[in-house]
Amino acid sequence: MKTSLVRVLLLALLCALCGDSSAALAGKRPNIVFFFTDDQGYGDLSAHGNPLLKTPSMDRLHREGVRFTDFHVSPTCAPTRSALFTGRHEFKNGITHTILERERLTLKATTLAQVLKTAGYTTGIFGKWHLGDEAEYLPSRRGFDEMFIHGAGGIGQSYPGSCGDAPGNTYFDPAILHNGKFVKTKGYCTDVFYTQATQWMDAQRKAGKPFFAYIPSNAPHAPYNARPEDKALYAGKAPSDQAASFLGMVHNIDQNIGKVLAKLDEWGIAKDTLVVFMNDNGGTAGVPVWNARMRGSKGSAWLGGTRASSFWRWPGTLQPADCGVLAAHIDFFPTIAEIAGAKTPDAVKAQVEGRSLVPLLEKPAGTLPDRIQVTHLGRWPKHSDPNLAKFSMCSVRNSRWQLISPNGGAEPKWQLYDVKADAGQQTDVAAQNPGVVKQLAAAYDQWWSDCQPLLVNEKVVGPKLNPFAELYWKQFGGGPTEEDYKRMDPTRPWPAPGGEGKKKKAK
């Protein structure tokens, strides 16, 4: 009896020490640094075979991390960001565009930043938010303790309604909204964001607080304004001047990532820090150089429009390896929440559609049940019937098959590809596999029906002027010009009511 009892106890102790993958990582509460780039495609780094671009820091994350090789995001910016921070598809967050109030993350959603705070994290964002510029939508109201952002989807962008950056902003010396007040910075935008983030991380680690540092650079999004010394590295080598600037912008991001990694080593917290690197959609100006042999680019439902880098580095905890399981942006929320030991109330659990990748981070060679993944570009005309674009640039897939309708409308024009055998998507095999088409099409129809009640931004009428612009003028003086009114609200008469307009542009 005693011998049997000893064996049982030893077995129990062994199980406790080994544990399953979830138990091993759950609640370990590392610092989390999330590098996120804008419009850098899967092929825009040397670790993925780019013949021209050199990215040693990104390559280091690739080499030292768990690499999800079949990881997918949305075709454009704001949709991907909303999925990352809610764990569900962007349409169910009300996001069907990147402008015109349709980029606003529904206020009914709970964000990852809010959930992390239940685990004692302090949270900071440094760069591009793009989930609503009105006060109630800002990251400072969505769980972020530190906010250092530009407006709209890019520095200097402004559109009619609520989506717009500070007036006259450029990539050099931009005005940045820092915790409710604009600061006029000095330097190139990417350098500014990474420097601010590094200083903030240093303060948090000195205070002994676990931190979540989200660094979503606006680069290398257009306009392709690189530092001259970065562009010079590719001038005359890239296929166009635009591509040279784009590659230079990626080079600059890579340098900044390297500086952060060096600081983690210098501070002695590298082994206590999970670093994640991703990009937000398919390739853009770098596609002519290298697109990893994929079809499609940003704005498409082809694999080249959605496949993204996803590197997870945690020295001493995660073993570097490839993982080929079909994964997606909606998995980021539950994975990070589990590692952080965050509390997820039932309402939040019901919100999350993704699944935790923790078992795969622990055992990259493992498997998970197959899944259905849906992509839709959105972007139908404002105030139009979404059903008229139901089958426009959309797809539904599982780990083997992708059913795609690149140019349908109210009716589908389905094509089917075996992405395991035909990763370049060159041969439509719909006619040979009617059962697969029927099954995936039915899953897509159900998904579309589920989304319709949640498209809350479709009828929204935005404010007369961009909130960022109004806040900027309130702080620094000046005011809207005739050109501002024409750009932000073409229907509003000039001179503006109240006489607040200026004939010359405020400096």
List, in sequence order, every residue forming a beta bridge with 148; answer none if it has no partner: 126, 178
394-418 pLDDT, tens per residue? Answer: 999 999 999 999 999 999 999 999 9
Asked if pLDDT for residue 311 goes beyond 70, the answer is yes
pLDDT band of 478, cuts 50, 70, 90: confident
Give the H or E element holding residue 482: helix 482-488
Amino acid letter, 409: G
Q: pLDDT value at position 3?
A: 46
Asked if pLDDT for residue 23 goes beyond 90, the answer is no
321 φ, ψ (degrees, to nearest 5):
-175, 160
73: helix, strand or coil: coil
- Rounded to the nearest integer, the mean pLDDT of the chain is 92
Asked if pLDDT for residue 22 goes beyond 80, the answer is no
Parse the chain into domains and list their residue ranges.
23-362, 373-454
Q: Could you give the percent of the chain with pLDDT greater than 90?
A: 89
**Both tokens of residue 109?**
């959603």
* Euclidean distance between CA atoms 325 and 159, whole angstroms: 39
Amino acid letter, 310: S
Q: pLDDT value at position 490?
A: 59
Q: pLDDT value at position 491?
A: 56
* Euclidean distance between CA atoms 398 and 327, whole angstroms: 10
* Euclidean distance between CA atoms 10 and 15, whole angstroms: 9
Pairing type for strands 181-184 and 175-178 reads antiparallel
Can 23-362 and 373-454 be said to share one CATH topology?
A: no
**Both tokens of residue 81?**
């960001």
**Both tokens of residue 359?**
């078992």
* Euclidean distance between CA atoms 343 and 323, whole angstroms: 27
160-212 pLDDT, tens per residue? Answer: 999 999 999 999 999 999 999 999 999 999 999 999 999 999 999 999 999 99
Taking alpha carbons only, the member of 269, 357, 277, 367 closest to residue 313 is: 277
**Both tokens of residue 366?**
């493992």
225-284 pLDDT, tens per residue? Answer: 999 999 999 999 999 999 999 999 999 999 999 999 999 999 999 999 999 999 999 999
- Would you call the peptide bond into 497 cis, given omega within 30 degrees of 0 as the criterion? no
**Both tokens of residue 257?**
């990532």
Pairing type for strands 181-184 and 394-397 reads unpaired
Q: pLDDT value at position 504?
A: 40
Asked if pLDDT for residue 482 goes beyond 80, the answer is no
Q: Are 215 and 197 in contact (CB under 8 A)?
A: yes
* Euclidean distance between CA atoms 220 and 247, whole angstroms: 8
* Euclidean distance between CA atoms 339 and 62, whole angstroms: 20
Asked if pLDDT for residue 433 goes beyond 60, the answer is yes
pLDDT band of 6, cuts 50, 70, 90: very low
Burial class (CB in 10 A: 0-12, 13-18, 19+), 98: buried
Q: pLDDT value at position 483?
A: 73
Pick the CATH number of 23-362 from 3.40.720.10, 3.40.50.2000, 1.25.40.420, 2.60.40.10: 3.40.720.10
Asked if pLDDT for residue 505 goes beyond 70, the answer is no
* Euclidean distance between CA atoms 487 and 481, whole angstroms: 10
- Domain 373-454 belongs in CATH node 3.30.1120.10: yes
List, in sequence order, every residue forming a beta bridge with 178; answer none if it has no partner: 148, 181
Q: Are 123 and 145 in contact (CB under 8 A)?
A: yes
List, in sequence order, every residue forming a beta bridge with 273; answer none if it has no partner: 31
Asked if pLDDT for residue 499 goes beyond 90, the answer is no
Q: Are 353 and 88 in contact (CB under 8 A)?
A: yes
Q: How many helices (H) and strands (E) does the chain have?
A: 15, 16
Q: pLDDT value at position 479?
A: 80
Q: Are 107 and 80 in contact (CB under 8 A)?
A: no
Q: pLDDT value at position 489?
A: 61
List, in sequence order, every residue forming a beta bridge with 275; answer none if it has no partner: 33, 313
292 φ, ψ (degrees, to nearest 5):
55, 35
pLDDT band of 11, cuts 50, 70, 90: very low
Q: pLDDT value at position 492?
A: 52
Q: pLDDT value at position 497?
A: 38
Q: pLDDT value at position 403?
A: 98
Measure CA 9 to chain center. Answer: 46
pLDDT band of 216, cuts 50, 70, 90: very high
**Both tokens of residue 73?**
């995001």
* Euclidean distance between CA atoms 264 and 267, whole angstroms: 5
Q: pLDDT value at position 212?
A: 98
327: helix, strand or coil: strand
Taking alpha carbons only, the member of 437, 414, 238, 393 closest to residue 304 is: 393
Q: pLDDT value at position 191?
A: 99
Give the H or E element holding residue 249: helix 241-267
Average pLDDT for 288-297: 98
342-385 pLDDT, tens per residue? Answer: 989 999 999 999 999 999 999 999 999 999 999 999 999 999 99
CA atoms within 13 A on the CB side of 42: 28
**Higher pLDDT residue, 92 or 493?**
92
Taking alpha carbons only, the member of 374, 357, 375, 355 closest to residue 366 is: 357
Measure CA 492 to chain center. Answer: 35
